[in-house]
A = this chain, B = another copy of it.
Amino acid sequence: MIRSLYYQDGQEIHTQLAIEDFKPALENTEGLLWVDFEATDPQDDEPIMLDIFGFHPLAIDDALQESHVPKLDDWGNYLYIVLHSVVVDKNIDGQLDTLELDIFVGKNYIVTHHDQSISAIERVWDLIHRDYRHLKNGADHLLYRLTDEVVASYMPVVETIDEEIDRAEDEVFDRPTPETLEKIFTLKRATLHLRRIVGPQREVLNKLARDDYAVIDVRARIYFRDVYDHLVRMHDITESLRDLVAGSLDTYLSVINNHMNDIMRTLTIITTLFMPLTFITGFFGMNFFTPTTPLGIWTGLPAYIVTLGILILTPVAMFLWIRRRGWWK
């Protein structure tokens, strides 16, 4: 789907221009044209980008093939920017998906290209229909609104991951299962993924806030600086999350070993209490001691009382010894 939007100061917004109308719109340096390619066929897009906008073939290649890290290329009279929006897959908790957004920004136009619907784009599209002011400040301000919305989409994701880590930790302490481990591992992957996007994206915004570009007005830099600050914070949090996930993995092992310790302690206590007793009962179960033998005295009443005493005292002694070693809790 190709949709477009044209605005000139003091006039109504035109939407859904025909492709033939792009060229004249571009020639009017007072207007502002936004063309949005969503899930289009690359073969349709290429001639528009090449012939009407005159983008470099390499930049078009980059835009039409997905899977790039966020980056910014300065092509003189336009910028080519790759951003990533991020969504959490609701079905699998902690699973992260990123949507690539390619942006070309010129003095009086902005071209966006993406394979799937991106909520940031929709929000800006609706916003400028409600409020023309955002168009008055030119293409660089529109770019600011786009980057701001894309970056804003990170926060809920980061928060979701943070909460999931919290929940995983609680599970680790309460009842660690192999599923908890799988969850932690998924969160590890998500955090690594996030870090791999936030880092370069931060660099893109840093360049926009700091460097000199023909199409970015000096006064607009302060706005990109603001988005950059958000990304810096996000990056710091991501680093912390990564550290916490690693800590969860270590903790899991410790908790499991703790449980095993408990279990072994019980096993040992039971064994320590009953093994000597079983030996004693076995001793008097030997056929030396059947009453008909000359060893009959061994199974007389006095021997019986002594044996009973031993059977009672042995576990008491064992119990005291165990408690002294601090195994009873």
**Residue ranges of A at the interface with B (Cβ–Cβ < 8 Å):** 56, 58, 62, 67-69, 71, 73, 169, 173, 175-176, 178, 181-182, 185, 188-189, 192-193, 196, 199-200, 222-223, 225-226, 229, 232-233, 236-237, 240, 243-244, 246-247, 249-268, 270-272, 274-279, 281-295, 299, 301, 303-304, 307, 311, 325-327
Residues of B within 8 A of A277 (CB): 279, 282
Task: Report the minimal beta-carbon distance from A20 to chain B, rounded to whole angstroms.
Answer: 30
Q: Of all chain B residues, which has the CB nearest A177?
A: B258
Are A249 and B249 in contact, CB atoms less than 8 angstroms apart?
no
In Å, the complex CA distance between A189 and B325 comes to: 29
Task: Report the minimal beta-carbon distance from A279 to chain B, rounded to whole angstroms.
Answer: 5
Known: A192-B244, A236-B196. A229 touches B71 (CB 8 A): yes
How many copies the complex holds: the figure is 5
Q: Of all chain B residues, which has the CB nearest A178?
A: B258
4 A-B pairs besides A181-B254, A278-B278, A290-B291 with CB distance below 8 A are: A249-B251, A259-B261, A274-B279, A281-B285
Are A178 and B173 in contact, CB atoms less than 8 angstroms apart?
yes
Task: Report the minimal beta-carbon distance from A253 to chain B, rounded to whole angstroms.
Answer: 5
Are B188 and A247 in contact, CB atoms less than 8 angstroms apart?
yes
Residues of B within 8 A of A299 (CB): 286-288, 293
In Å, the complex CA distance between A289 and B282 comes to: 13
In Å, the complex CA distance between A62 and B317 comes to: 63
Complex A-B, nearest 10 residue pairs according to Cβ-Cβ distance, in ascending order: A281-B282, A284-B286, A287-B289, A267-B268, A274-B275, A285-B285, A192-B240, A69-B233, A256-B257, A288-B304
Can you show 12 pairs from A to B with CB atoms below 8 A apart?
A68-B233, A71-B229, A196-B236, A253-B253, A259-B261, A260-B261, A282-B282, A287-B287, A287-B290, A288-B304, A290-B291, A295-B304
Are A290 and B290 in contact, CB atoms less than 8 angstroms apart?
yes
Are A173 and B169 in contact, CB atoms less than 8 angstroms apart?
no
